[in-house]
Chains A and B, each alone.
Chain A
Amino acid sequence: MELKELIQSSGEWLRGNGPEADIVISSRIRLARNLAEFPFISRATPQDRVQIERILHDAVITSNISTDLLYIAIDELAEVDRQLLVERHLISRELAEGQGRRAVAVDKAEKFSLMINEEDHLRIQVMQSGFNLQNVWQQINAIDDAVEQKATYAFHQKLGYLTACPTNVGTGMRVSVMMHLPALVITRQIEKVFRSLQKISLAVRGLFGEGSQAMGDFYQISNQITLGRSEEELVQQVNDIVPVIIDYERQARQFLIKESQEELHDRVSRAYGILRTAQKISSEETMHLLSSVRMGVNLGLISDLHIADINELFIHTQPAHLQKRTGGELGSADRNIERARYLRQYLNKEDGAQRAEKN
């Protein structure tokens, strides 16, 4: 499989049909692992990095975790291609912007990715559409077992898996659920929800992880603690809290429908109208409007669009995706024109099936 094939498709996690998919975009778990016999990345020499990459490359390739694996040397990629992988959530910004030898292995359905030489030697992540953490945990556990047969992980009797940052030590696990919470934002209840999450040591992040803004009303809820609880307990903690937040969001949506149906319908319709007619549009405005449209589809206020299409638009209107599509480097003004053109073309078609062919 080649990198260029990725742009034609969308990741499994965007298909928008898992459990609670109207509110939960995706369920994701990552594990941080290090080889015992090399320094952590910040202390590794360029030669260390090359050797770590070789060992993990062989471990991943021979572990039979997938029959259709795309292995990409990140340090040999053009900047736009690295950005493309970040936009698809296949690699982190840290890996994209890092130094020296680094790589990622991705399966064709984009259900999992293994980052090599990120903050830790190995970062395994598994993603799935909708709210389905148990399934994700089973998959990532199996991948971890398969790789572990081929490599000696740094592990301490008492402290567990050893990581470059002590905030990840123990399980090295981060469980996160990406949620779309526009009604909680409109009704100004979102801050309250965050404060109560922080009290039970859960973290809230934006669409692209640590330090990113909550664009398009997307929020990632994840565990903060990694030590002293089993992987199952960590999954369970997030598993228990997400339905509560889903419930709040549903109540807020019902409140909006009951108290101000016209206003809500107007907001959604205007958003849809702008996206279908604008001649230039920024990424930020696009996210903001798509968020309203997405809620409108979920509430039955818009009937000619599928959730999977909107999910895809969130990703395909990002800068690197636009540039790959047009095949050239675009400045931000040109991107805004191209983004508007792409949105018009996509949203003004009647048949979803034709879209894929045309683009």
Chain B
Amino acid sequence: MKCQQCERPATFHITELTGGKPQELHLCEEHARTYLTSAPSGEAGGGGNMPPALGQQIQQMAIGQTAEELAQLDQQACPVCGITFYEFRSQGRLGCPHDYVAFQTQLEPLIVNVHGESEHVGKRPHRAANSSEMRTQLIRLRREMKEAVEGENYEHASELRDQIRRIETEQAV
């Protein structure tokens, strides 16, 4: 079994009995030390400027999940910006607009817990929302183009460049 917080094998198996339901933790030596020496709420969600409402929800997410489920969710990465769900859990900040789509399964219950609702009913931009999503894909395309150039894959890079230009000019501001 892998550590819930990194790739190393979990050698410490802790059952936390404080604070409501028992919570199982499977950690490597290093993360177990950090966990045991930090404050009672020291698992994830400890980021310095995490809003209290969010910190609480993030902590609760860990409860009721098995270690395997948690580890699997944590390792999921956003195809656009590359952030993993674990990184979000520890910082409380998302990496790009597409994370709301990529991490939909994980974020939906959290959002409902924070806001009590799941759907926006307020103001909308005059621009269509699908143009916003298309522009967010530019983050991925620009990254892929940079990688293609670095890998000297110039043909692919020029295809990507054309694609980027198309999106940029089609919806020019």
Contacts and interface: CB of A to CB of B under 8 A. Distances in A.
Interface stretch (A220-228, A241-249, A257-265, A287-295): A220-228
Contacts of B139: 37-39
B49 to A, nearest CB: 7
Interface string B122-141: 11111101111101101100
A349 interface: no
A302 interface: no
A158 B119 contact: yes
B155 interface: no
B146 to A, nearest CB: 10
A354 B143 CA distance: 61
A145 B127 CA distance: 11
B81 A156 contact: no
Contacts of A210: 49, 51
B36 interface: no
Q: Determine the main DSSP class of A at the interface with B.
A: loop
A148 B125 contact: yes
B140 to A, nearest CB: 10
Contact of A167 (B54, B125, B136): B54
A54 interface: no
Interface in A148-168: 148-162, 164-167
A222 B123 CA distance: 19
A47 B66 CA distance: 40
B120 A170 contact: yes
Interface string A162-195: 1011110111010000000000000000000000
A165 B94 contact: yes
B14 interface: no
A169 to B, nearest CB: 7
Nearest to B53: A167
A237 interface: no
Contacts of B91: 42
B127 A148 contact: yes
Given A34-B97, A169-B111, A224 B119 contact: no
A40 B171 contact: no
Centre residue among A39, A164, A173, A227 by max chain B CB count within 10 A: A39
Given A36-B97, A37-B136, A171 B122 contact: yes
Interface residues of A, number: 50
A166 B61 CA distance: 14
A133 to B, nearest CB: 15
B54 A230 contact: no
A231 interface: yes
A311 interface: no
B132 A149 contact: no
A101 B92 CA distance: 22
A35 B125 CA distance: 12
Given A162-B97, A166-B110, A227 B83 contact: no
8 contacts: A36-B135, A40-B97, A94-B49, A153-B127, A165-B54, A166-B94, A225-B117, A228-B121
Interface of A: 34-43, 94, 119, 141, 144-145, 148-162, 164-167, 169-171, 173, 201, 210-211, 224-231, 234
Given A42-B91, A170-B120, A227-B119, 12 more contacts: A34-B97, A36-B97, A36-B136, A37-B135, A39-B81, A94-B49, A145-B126, A148-B127, A152-B132, A154-B136, A166-B111, A169-B115
3 smallest CB-CB distances across A and B, nearest first, come from A228-B117, A160-B120, A154-B97
